[in-house]
Chains A and B, each alone.
Chain A
Amino acid sequence: MKITIKSFANIRDVLGQAELPMELAPRATLTDLFTRLNSEYGENFNRQVYDQLSGELVPFLILINDKTYRTTVDMDTPLSDGDVVTIMIPFDGG
């Protein structure tokens, strides 16, 4: 299936474009998507979303189309063909 990844700031810098089309296996989940991004973009991607001491994905939101999901509890969510996945930036502060 085909999805589109939307991103900004550091993640956009790593992926190289604001909207990135990606081919995933049917019924792939958010975890599968992040595993794929990790293997394709390596440490550069990893440093933007994983704590480098614990190795854990840090808390941030992900939009699938316009619906909000949380990295803390929703990573098993399956994706569907045509989904637009917006990766929010894991920024605390502000």
Chain B
Amino acid sequence: MNSLTYKGYIGKILRVNLTDGTWSDFSLTDELVEKYIGGAGLAARILYDELEPGVDPLSPENKAIFLTGPVNGTMIPAASRVGLYAKSPLTNSFFHSSAGGHFGAELKYAGYDGIILEGASEKPVYLFIDEGNVELRDASHLWGLDSNTVQHEMHEELGSEEIHIAAIGPAGENLVRFACVICGCRALGRGGLGAVLGSKKVKAVAVRGQGSVEVPDMRKMRLLLDELFAKFNANPSTSEIMPRYGTPVLVNANNTLGMFGHNNWQDEFYTESEGLSGETMRKQLVKRDKSCFACPARCSKFSIVGEGQNEGCCVEGPEYEDIFSLGSMCGHNNLDVVAAGERLCDDIGVDAIEAGVSIAFAMECYEKGLITDKETDGIELRFGRDDLILPLIEKMGRREGNLGNLLAEGVKRASEQVGQGSEFFAMQNKGLTFPGHSARGMPGFALGYATGPRGASHHDSRPTGERTGLVKRDTIEGKGEYTARINHLNILTDSMIVCHLPEAIWGPLDITDNVVRCLNAVTGMDLTLDQARKTAERIWNMIRMFSVREGYRREHDTLPGRFMEEPIKTGPSKGMVISREMLDYMLDQYYEFRGWDKETGVPTREKLEELGLEDLTEDAANL
């Protein structure tokens, strides 16, 4: 029994001190969940309170938190997720990454809403939570294994395939700054949180449980579920397009609009994109459709490479982002290489977006003569060389040679090492590289990238409103409020935690009733739409204050030179660009709507007080 008034939660988080190998329970309170819900919101609050500003993300003083939200483990559609949270070694600020699959639900069934990992172990360990029993086990024999093999070995060792595991690969152990964590076949991908686990010598976390998640009124819950599933089945995106083609459908869609990053964003129109398209993938690779826990959208694809050098390679994916980063950005359209590359990224344990964009950056540096055979260990790095993708992923994941070490630092730090003006085309913001959605072609989304607390994430803001024509994409007017409202939708769903992709149901331009009713049905909170929006705004400001405390200000809410000075060269979006003036104009709108100081981008005292964040006003005043 927990002491919470609200349902949906287990009521406790496991706190593990890796330095001395002890653990205890952290109890959730009504106030914490009312103000921060769960997932990203709750983790931001805990990390703000428990981390000293300026802490090295790869030191024992950083903490990594696995966390669910109230809806996870219930039948709410797309509530499949688990989040991982820490100060990121890429961005030096609060970072959240979430994955679908089954780990989140199983963690709750095992008896915990989440796990706080603090300190660092001397030797490799894995954590096993089995029906509420906790064990920290030696993982020396597993250290060095790839993320897939380690899961198999642990299933053998623990005697069951039913155990759900989140594990790092060699990249996490090698402190590659964009190392990820793999849960089953799904990635807690971005932000380098795998390196944080690696720095703590945590190879894996395994969970098993047969518990359940209580909701206040099962009859009401069933009625809501019937209604939501009917909506999923009626909407073309969730009922037809996602199940058939998944996210790779965006290759042709974005390229047709001239918004498909190519050759390190030197252009956004790729004449050979058909080879990478969702349609080609369906014919060439896909063997079956897959779904996450409790999701009718079935957007995941299980693929096998049928012939050639990578014959037999099987992978869940590739997703649109992999196709963009490991294919188009590197100047080739070999879908088999993309599939094998994605599999290798998962196995070795790196974020595929960061990996592909890093390779593309290095290719451009080499073609421009900014790095030579000396820095590349003799490799002739040129766009279009699909034969280099797999060997380079290996090199960066294992930090092999000059090039492997350069790339393992991520694009921002690599460009600082290369210098010579390369930061102009280092396609990152705040340390995180841009994924495959155009900034130049969608001004509101560009503003979202610029202001994103995680840097260039496509899940702080979203491209959907501009890409589907819900709002005009050829104007900067009104984009401040537009972006802020989408921020709030995303952060609320990231706190509950539900997958963003069925956003036609959740939004897509603001928090809707569908979201709030899910939250209320599971917790019994009885929030109004306005109260839910206020809660989301509170969490957003909390996270902004984390960034502010780490030194982030208005000048960091920016875009790479290429997006601000080089218009798109060809295709239907030819000529589009986000100039500094356009960005400044939108930033003013955005800060004004948010009640933040326009000069600095810091939340004002009044705004913090209005949101019930009085305890942060002193930090804001002492900057």
Chain A partners chain B: yes
Asked whether B235 lies within 8 Å of A58 as measured between CB atoms, the reply is yes
Interface residues of B in 497-526 (CB under 8 A from A): 500-504, 508
Q: Is the CB of A8 within 8 A of B253?
A: yes
Tell whether A72 pairs with B247 under 8 Å between CB atoms, given A50-B236, A63-B572: no
Partner of A92, one of B244, B501, B572: B501
Q: Mark A2-23, 1 if CB is under 8 A from B, else 0.
A: 0000001110110000000000
Q: How far is the CB of B456 from chain A (nearest CB, A)?
A: 15
Contact residue among B234, B278, B464, B502 (Cβ-Cβ distance under 8 Å from A9): B278
Q: How distant is B554 from chain A, measured CB to nearest CB, in Å?
A: 29
| Binding-face segment, A24-32, A34-42, A82-90 | A82-90
Q: Which size class do B's interface residues fall under? A: 35 or more
- Chain A contacts of B502 at CB under 8 A? 92-93
Residues of B contacting A50 with CB < 8 Å? 236
Chain A interfacial residues counted at CB < 8 A: 33
Task: Please report the C-alpha to C-alpha distance between residue A88 and residue B253 in the assembled complex, in whole angstroms.
Answer: 6
**Could you say which of B244, B464, B470, B474 contacts A93, with CB atoms under 8 Å apart?**
B464
B residues 244-258 in Cβ contact with A at 8 Å: 244-245, 247, 249-250, 252-253, 256-257
Please report the C-alpha to C-alpha distance between residue A54 and residue B233 in the assembled complex, in whole angstroms.
12
| Minimum CB distance partner of B252 in chain A | A8
* A9-B241, A53-B234, A90-B236 known; A68-B464 Cβ under 8 A: no
- Decide if A49 touches B470 in the complex (CB within 8 Å): no
User: What is the bound-complex CA distance between A48 and B467, given in angstroms?
Assistant: 17
Q: Which A51-68 residues have C-beta < 8 A from chain B?
A: 51-54, 58-61, 63, 66, 68
Q: Of B233, B256, B437, which one neighbours A94 at CB under 8 angstroms?
A: B437
B468 within 8 A of A: yes
Tell whether B242 is near chain A: CB-to-CB under 8 Å: yes
Are the CB atoms of A88 and B241 closer together than 8 Å?
no
Q: Which residue of A lies closest to B255 (CB)?
A: A8
**Is B299's beta carbon under 8 Å from chain A?**
yes
Q: Which residues of A contact B472 (CB under 8 A)?
A: 70
Kindly state whether residue B448 has any CB partner on chain A within 8 Å: no
A9 adjacent to B256 (CB under 8 Å): no
Q: Are A51 and B235 in contact (CB under 8 A)?
A: yes
Q: How far is the CA of A51 from the CA of B320 in the complex (A)?
A: 25
Q: Are A52 and B239 in contact (CB under 8 A)?
A: yes
Cross-chain contact B240 with A47 (CB below 8 angstroms): yes
Find the residue from B234, B237, B238, B467 having the highest chain A CB count within 10 A: B237
**Which residues of A are found within 8 Å of B230, using beta-carbon distances?**
53
The answer, yes or no, to whether B104 is at the interface (CB within 8 Å) is: no
Whether the Cβ atoms of A58 and B237 lie closer than 8 Å is yes
Do A92 and B253 contact each other (CB < 8 Å), given the known contacts A58-B235, A59-B469, A68-B572?
A: no
B277 sits at the interface (CB 8 A): yes
Asked if residues B240 and A48 are in contact (CB atoms below 8 Å), the reply is yes
Instruction: Decide: A10 and B240 in contact? CB cutoff 8 A.
Output: yes
Given contacts A8-B279, A9-B252, A53-B231, contact A91 B237 (CB under 8 A): yes
Give CA–CA (A13, B278) in the complex, Å: 12
Identify the closest chain A residue to B464 (Cβ).
Answer: A92
A59 to B464, CA, bound (A): 10
* Shortest Cβ gap from B507 to chain A (Å): 8
Decide if A89 touches B241 in the complex (CB within 8 Å). yes
A10 x B241 contact (CB < 8 A): yes
Q: Is B463 an interface residue (CB 8 A)?
A: yes
Query: In the bound complex, what is the Cα–Cα distance between A90 and B508 (angstroms)?
Result: 13
The answer on a CB contact under 8 Å between B469 and A70 is yes
Q: Which residues of chain B from 459 to 494 have any CB-CB distance to chain A below 8 Å in the complex?
A: 463-464, 467-470, 472-474
Of B469, B473, B500, the residue contacting A60 (CB under 8 A) is B469
B48 to chain A, nearest CB (A): 30
The reply to whether A93 and B469 contact each other, CB–CB distance below 8 Å, is: no
Contact (Cβ within 8 A) A71 B249: no
In the assembly, what is the distance between CA of A89 and CA of B248, in Å? 12
| Pair A90/B256 contact, Cβ less than 8 Å | no
Minimum CB–CB distance for A76 against chain B, Å: 15
Find chain B residues with CB under 8 A from A93 CB. Answer: 237, 242, 247, 299, 464, 500-503
User: Separation in Å of the A31 CB from the closest CB of chain B?
Assistant: 15
A94/B236 in contact, CB under 8 A: no
Chain A residues contacting B244 (CB-CB under 8 Å) are 9-10, 13
Add 12 more A-B contacts to A53-B231, A94-B250, A94-B437 (CB < 8 A). A9-B241, A9-B252, A47-B236, A50-B236, A59-B470, A86-B256, A88-B253, A91-B253, A92-B237, A93-B500, A93-B501, A93-B503
Return the 8 tightest CB-CB contacts between A and B, nearest first: A70-B469, A93-B501, A52-B234, A53-B234, A92-B504, A59-B468, A8-B252, A92-B503
Q: B interface vs A, CB < 8 Å?
A: 230-231, 233-242, 244-245, 247, 249-250, 252-253, 256-257, 277-279, 299, 320, 437, 458, 463-464, 467-470, 472-474, 500-504, 508, 572
> What are 19 A-B contacts defined by CB distance under 8 Å?
A8-B253, A10-B241, A50-B236, A52-B239, A60-B469, A61-B467, A63-B256, A70-B469, A70-B470, A71-B469, A72-B469, A86-B256, A89-B241, A89-B252, A91-B250, A93-B500, A93-B502, A93-B503, A94-B250
